[in-house]
Amino acid sequence: MTAFAYRGGQLYGEDVPLEAVAAALGTPTYVYSRAAMEQQYQAFAAALGAETQVCYAVKANPNLGILRLFAALGAGFDIVSGGELERVRRAGGDLRKVVFSGVGKSHAEIAAALEAGVFCLNVESPAELHRVAEVAGHLGRQAPIALRVNPDVDPGTHRYIATGLAESKFGIPIAAAPELYAQAARLPQIAVRGIACHIGSQLLDLAPLGAAAERVAALYHRLHDMGIPIQHLDLGGGVGIRYRDESPPTPAAYAEVLQRALAGIPARRVVELGRALVGNAGVLLTRVEYIKDNGSKTFCVVDAAMNDLLRPALYGAWHEILPVRAGRASPALTMDVVGPVCESGDFLAKDRPLAAAAGDLLAVMGAGAYGFAMSSNYNTRPRPAEVLLDGAGFRLLRRRETLDDLLSLEEV
């Protein structure tokens, strides 16, 4: 589904002209399409089948309204902090469908997860395994765990979001996993439930995912031979989306790769999708403040900045930028689209042909994942509002921050 398209020279989201959102709430503002998120979830859930639990990766976009939407669709949740656990709770998510990942879980986070009755803790080191056992013992509980194994597979993505290589901080080397599983099985405070694996994000080629799944399948059979039963296989997520000219995998192709690698294994499957569900369901609206020509370079200075959308500065990520009202008579100029933050790295796009003037409204596309989630208050800038489109209407999911919000926790 294309949630955002031109009608009569105006860019719409669902049945709402984006100019109407900016007129009502100002800029910068994140705008999300409910229909696009629902359709993506349903497409993956249908392709993967009833034997697979689709978990939404909260870190992609943790807004409570979006979590509520996925909870209503039957999603589980992949979390990486105690804060995300509380978000799922407040959004009405089923805590029995929560998978808790991450390399640095604290005593308090482990305790909160066990008291909440989460589906599984994905353990990433021998030290964490013993901490989980210690906390579970104090609480008089048995902790459901999977070991997150590192298959040393190159996912072919940006090095910052590759998580399955030997030099990555994530997971346990797959060769070392059988011995650690044997140790876990001997701990009375631990209930071995699954095997977990995640090799990276923005995956466009499914071959590495298939190779990782095959290694997980081999480990499953090895553990079965050791007398250690495994109830579920967590294959992570990371399915990519189209930002520019990529050809991302379809839900059917993704499901086929997993089925081919895991055929004949009776364990339930879990996947953790984030960007694939919300990435192209969101845009960032921003207004042009100035067009600046310094002789050798032209800059389109907008009111959104790297603190609002960090991906271009952090990863060199490419986001399409469209005028909300098309057909400006002035010719397109090659410009850098930059923000007001006092950093040379504060840019949203480099060397883009763009016909724009001061006061124009622009839409930064593909901003539904890792947009607001990674935003900050750098330069004492309040973070944007967030809006959910729903057919011909829209509603506020998060109001724009004020300076009073930013300063309220500080004292002189």
- Predicted pLDDT of residue 152: 75
Which domains does the chain show, CATH number per domain? 4-32+280-407 (2.40.37.10), 94-273 (3.20.20.10)
Q: Is 359 left (phi over 0), alpha (psi -120 to 50) or beta?
A: left
Residues sharing a CB contact under 8 Å with residue 322, sequence separation 6 or more, in sequence order: 11, 362, 363, 365
Question: Tokens representing 375?
Answer: 């935003």
- Predicted pLDDT of residue 17: 98
Question: Tokens representing 153?
Answer: 């597979």
- Predicted pLDDT of residue 27: 98
Residues of the chain falling short of pLDDT 70: 1, 154-169, 329
Question: Tokens representing 268?
Answer: 């339930």
- Predicted pLDDT of residue 161: 41
- Predicted pLDDT of residue 57: 98
Distance CA 370, CA 278 (A): 9
The amino acid occupying position 198 is H
Burial 308-343 (b: 16+ CB within 10 A, else e): bbbbbbeeebbbebbbbbeeeeeeeeebbbbbbbee
Give the residues across from 300 on adjacent strands.
291, 337
Question: Tokens representing 385?
Answer: 């509002």
Asked if 11 and 376 touch (Cβ cutoff 8 Å), the reply is: no
Distance CA 51, CA 392 (A): 36
Active site residues: 342
- Predicted pLDDT of residue 162: 46
Distance CA 181, CA 223 (A): 8
Distance CA 331, CA 320 (A): 18
- Predicted pLDDT of residue 164: 42
pTM of the entire predicted model: 0.94
- Residue-wise pLDDT for 41-61, tens only, equals 999 999 999 999 999 999 999
- CA distances to 36, 223, 230, 236, 361 from 193, rounded to whole Å, are 34, 12, 5, 16, 51
